[in-house]
Amino acid sequence: MRSVSFLASLSLLSMPLVGCTAEQVEQPFDEQVGLQLFMWPWESVAKECEFIGDSGIDWVLVSPPQEHITGSAWWTVYQPVSYQLESRLGNREQFENMTKTCADHGVDVIVDAVINHMTAQYSGVGSGGTSFEKFSYPGLYSMDDFHNCQLTYDNSIQNYASAEEVQTCELLGLSDLNTSLPNVQETILGYLNDLISLGAKGFRIDAAKHIAPEDLQPIISKLPEGTVVMLEVIRGAGEPIQPEQYLELGYVWEFDYARNMKSFFVDQVIGYVDSEARYISHAPSERALSFVSNHDTERNGQAINFGDPRYFEIATAMMLAEEYGRPMLLSSYAFIEYDAGPAEVDSKVSPIDCSQVTGPKETYEDKEWICQHRWASTIRMVQFRDKVQGAATTNIYQNETVYGFAREGKGYFITNVSLDQSFDVEVDTSLPDGEYTNLFDDQVYQIQNGKLQVSLPALGAIALVVN
């Protein structure tokens, strides 16, 4: 099944927001692996979609496509100037060509929709030539269309413990749209529908935490049937706004998944061993997107990033092997400075060529494209995930820095996250006896009486699957 029919039931969306649990929401699609192509230009995405589709990856998340403020920092694309598709990543025609080409290869394009705010600049000219002021965007919004929260000295969010502040003040000083207004909702819907008319299959709602669910509901409920919605509501301890409040609107990224994955490698202890307890603080699996890192967490220290390529490789494999959520891979570029954008010529991101990449390198140059999604073990694990679909997590093994588990009768994954110690293990794999090839390195292992006996080196990993 290639076409995503998420939130297919519109009646679902007319249900009251209060008193409805996630269980009531239909789950029309099976395992689907996504890939965030951070700051990839449309032409490069289009070229890469053949490989992506052939690999069994089902959807890609692309960076925001709308006109944006100018500058070399990557985050200019998160400051919309208009909803024209004129950006450093490409134009309207290139965007449409990308969605078509990707669809031809069975890959859905999910678009990062920046709809909470516009810019933080006093005034300027955008990437498509539009002149704007912080509270005035010709043909779209004027002063009255923005919140003016007056809750903080500069109108920007200071205190995440105040829900009102989080949703009506300015995130990072970005002019905050008054998303409760019908005309603002209408304008946003117009933008999203335009993207759908160009072949977008769904959206990541950027900064969804900063838009009240009741403001999003009237927008999302009017999207065509089958539109996929993913919401960025970062889980923050003790905050009044939590991902759970958005589950009826779509999927949420479970940030604790990425954080826990990092702590497994850094602290070398797996938080909860039991398969249920492991996800205890997480959004329900059927509503969650799991990820090792995204473009924010690879920069802010909360997750594993390209600086530890072997961690990234093993963690990605482990995510694909685990039952929880729907995984999203990340493919991005190396950086030294937080702000640094990718290589550009004439304010357009230069084409990306991943065709020579088959695995992680030890280190990366500044601005080098890492092409994580081309790593052989990752692609094989995408196929592992397909093959173990529906199989329960069993035979959990944990000792010192070694953690392993089976997807009952179908696949087995084990890793040792120690940096310097190897461990001899004998584990019950639940797999039929026979010869298996490790998806990481082609080494062949024997399973006898369901058991695997092996010396697992430092940062070793084994993934076996029944073909």
Where do contacts with ligand ARE occur on this chain (CB under 6 A)? 75, 78-79, 114, 120, 160, 171-174, 206-207, 209, 232, 234, 236, 239, 295-296
Give kind and range of the element (H or E) at residue 329.
strand 326-331
- The answer to whether 389 and 31 are in contact (CB under 8 A) is yes
**CA 214 – CA 180 distance, rounded (Å):** 8
Q: Active-site residue among 43, 170, 176, 232? A: 232
Contacts (CB under 5 A) with Ca ion, residues 148-187: 176
Query: Shortest distance, CB of residue 98 to ligand ARE, whole angstroms?
Result: 21
First to last CA, the chain: 21
List, in sequence order, the alpha helices (H) in 106-155. none
Residue in 26, 22, 21 with CA at minimum distance from that of residue 10:
26
In sign, the C-alpha dihedral spanning 244, 246, 250, 256 is negative
Question: Is residue 1 a contact partner of residue 30, using CB atoms and an 8 Å limit?
Answer: yes
Judged by beta carbon distances under 5 to 8 A according to partner kind, the member of Ca ion, ligand ARE, none in contact with residue 6 is: none
Report d(CA 376, CA 356) in Å as an integer. 12
- Return the number of the residue (51 or 160) whose C-beta is nearest ligand ARE: 160
Any residues with CB less than 8 A from the CB of 8 and at least 6 apart, and which? 26, 28, 225, 226
Q: Which is nearer to ligand ARE, 239 or 386 (CB)?
A: 239
Question: 222 is written with which tokens?
Answer: 């009017």
Give the chain's radius of gyration (CA, Å).
22
- Residue 114 binds what, of Ca ion, ligand ARE, none (CB under 5 to 8 Å, by partner type)? ligand ARE
Point out the residue whose Cβ comes nearest to Ca ion: 210
The reply to whether 209 sits near Ca ion by the rule CB under 5 A is no
- Which residue number, 150 or 356, has a Cβ lying nearer to Ca ion? 150
Name the active-site residue from 43, 86, 170, 206: 206
Using the minimum distance from each CB to ligand ARE, give the nearer residue, 253 or 403: 253
Using CA atoms, how far apart are residues 119 and 352, in angstroms rounded to an integer?
28
**Smaller CB separation from ligand ARE, 86 or 298:** 298
**Smallest distance, ligand ARE to C-beta of residue 445, A:** 41
Structure tokens at 208: 């969804």
Contacting Ca ion within 97-126 (CB under 5 A): 116
Out of ligand ARE, Ca ion, none, which partner does residue 160 contact, by CB within 5 to 8 A per kind?
ligand ARE
* Residue 206 interacts with, from Ca ion, ligand ARE, none (CB under 5-8 Å by kind): ligand ARE
Residue least distant from ligand ARE (Cβ): 236
Taking CB within 5 to 8 Å according to partner kind, which of ligand ARE, Ca ion, none is near residue 236?
Answer: ligand ARE
Question: Minimum distance from CB of 148 to Ca ion (Å)?
Answer: 12
- Give 176 or 298: the residue with its C-beta nearer to Ca ion: 176
Interaction partner, residue 207 (ligand ARE, Ca ion, none; CB < 5-8 Å by kind): ligand ARE
- Shortest distance, CB of residue 122 to Ca ion, whole angstroms? 20
Q: Which one of Ca ion, ligand ARE, none is in contact with 194 (Cβ closer than 5 to 8 A by kind)? A: none
Nearest distance from C-beta of residue 206 to Ca ion, angstroms: 11
- Considering only 78-86, 203-211, 289-297, 406-414, which stretch makes contact with Ca ion by CB under 5 A? 203-211
Examine the residue annotation and report whether 206 is marked as an active-site residue of this protein: yes
- Which partner from the list Ca ion, ligand ARE, none does 176 bind, CB cut-off 5 to 8 Å by kind? Ca ion
232 counts as catalytic: yes
Give the one entry of ligand ARE, Ca ion, none that residue 29 binds, where binding means its C-beta sits below a cut-off of 5 to 8 angstroms depending on kind: none
Q: Tell me the closest approach of the beta carbon of residue 343 to ligand ARE, in angstroms.
A: 19
Asked if 214 contacts 241 with a C-beta cutoff of 8 angstroms, the reply is no
- Cβ closest to Ca ion, residue 67 vs residue 176: 176
Q: Which residues contact 336 (CB under 8 A, 6 or more apart)?
A: 366
The letter for the amino acid at 425 is: V
Could you tell me if 463 and 381 are in contact, meaning their C-beta atoms sit under 8 angstroms apart? yes
Look at phi and psi of residue 56 and say left if phi exceeds 0, alpha if psi is from -120 to 50, else beta. left
Question: Looking at beta carbons only, is 76 or 429 nearer to ligand ARE?
Answer: 76
Interface with Ca ion: number of residues (CB under 5 A): 3
Residue 459 falls in which region: left (phi positive, over 0), alpha (psi -120 to 50) or beta: left
- From the CB of 292, what's the least distance to ligand ARE, in Å? 16
Q: What is the dihedral of CA 183, 189, 191, 195, to 10 degrees?
A: -170
Smallest gap, in angstroms, from Cβ of residue 107 to ligand ARE? 22
User: What is the DSSP code string of 267-279?
Assistant: H---S--STTGGG
Minimum CB separation from Ca ion for residue 158, in Å? 14
Question: Cα angle vertex 365, ends 364, 370, to 5°?
Answer: 50
329 and 313 Cβ atoms separated by less than 8 Å: no
154 secondary structure, DSSP code:
T
Of the candidates 110, 36, 146, 124, the residue with the CA atom closest to the CA atom of residue 79: 124
Residue among 116 and 393 whose Cβ is closer to Ca ion: 116
Active site residues: 206, 232
Residues in the site for Ca ion, rule: CB under 5 A? 116, 176, 210
